[in-house]
Amino acid sequence: MKANRSIACLLLAALPTLASAHVAEKVETLHDQALAEIPGHRGLMLTVSFKPGQVSAPHVHPGSVFVYVLEGTVQTQLEGGPVETYTVGQSWYEPANVPHLLARNPDPMKPAKLLVWELLKEGDPILKPLERGAR
C-alpha cells in the first residue's frame, strides 16, 4: 500500500511536465520584414516561450535560423548532431531544411524564452512539422 502511494505521488508530481510536453510552445512575432536587398525573401524575428518541462514537436525550418536564449535553459538537437544545452546569453545557428529533432526546456520549475531570427523565402512557413518516418 505504501509503495502504491509513493508511485501515485510521483505520477502526480510529473503531471505538469507531462501535460506541458504536448502543448505547443508560445510563439510571438516581433517583426516580419520583406528584404529589398534580397528580393523574394523576408526576415522574421520572434520569441519562443517554453513552459517548465515543455518539449517542441520535431520540425524543420525552410530558412536559416539564429537563436539566442533570453531566459532559462534549452536543449536542442539537429539531425546528425548531439543534444546541446544552451543557457541565458548563449546562441546557435540552424541551417535551412535540417530536421530539428529536439527542442525542450529541461527545467521542471522555470520557463525558458528564446529570441529567434529566421531568413525565409516569401510564402514559406516558419516551420514544417516533421512527418513520422520522414527522417
Q: How does pLDDT run across 54-103, given as a tens digit for each residue?
A: 999 999 999 999 999 999 999 999 999 999 999 999 999 999 999 999 99
Q: Does residue 38 carry a pLDDT above 90?
A: yes
Burial of 47 (0-12, 13-18, 19+ CB in 10 A): middle
Identity (one letter) of the amino acid at 21? Answer: A
Q: What is the pLDDT of residue 131?
A: 79
Query: CA 23, 24, 25 angle in degrees (round to 5)?
Result: 115
Provide the pLDDT for residue 24. Answer: 82
In a domain, 33, yes or no: yes
Per-residue pLDDT, 1: 54
Q: Does 115 fall in a domain? A: yes
Position 18 pLDDT exceeds 70: no
* pTM recorded for the entire structure: 0.80
**Residue range 27-39: mean pLDDT, rounded:** 96
Is the residue at 43 inside a domain? yes
Instruction: Determine, yes or no, domain membership for 122.
Output: yes
In a domain, 8, yes or no: yes
The pLDDT mean for the chain works out to: 87
| Total number of domains in the chain | 1
pLDDT tops 50 at residue 14: no
All residues at 6 or more sequence positions from 74 whose CB lies less than 8 Å from its CB, including other chains = 50, 85, 86, 103, 104, 105, 106, 112, 114
pLDDT band at residue 9, thresholds of 50, 70 and 90?
Answer: very low
Domain limits for position 86: 2-129
Q: What 3-state DSSP class applies to 123?
A: coil
Backbone angles phi, psi at 68, to 5 degrees: -130, 130
Is position 134 within any domain?
Answer: no
Q: Are strands 26-34 and 41-50 parallel, antiparallel or unpaired?
A: antiparallel
Cell triple for 90: 548563449
In a domain, 135, yes or no: no
Specify the pLDDT at position 122.
96
Is residue 94 included in any domain, yes or no? yes
Q: What is the DSSP letter of 53?
A: T
**CATH number for position 108:** 2.60.120.10
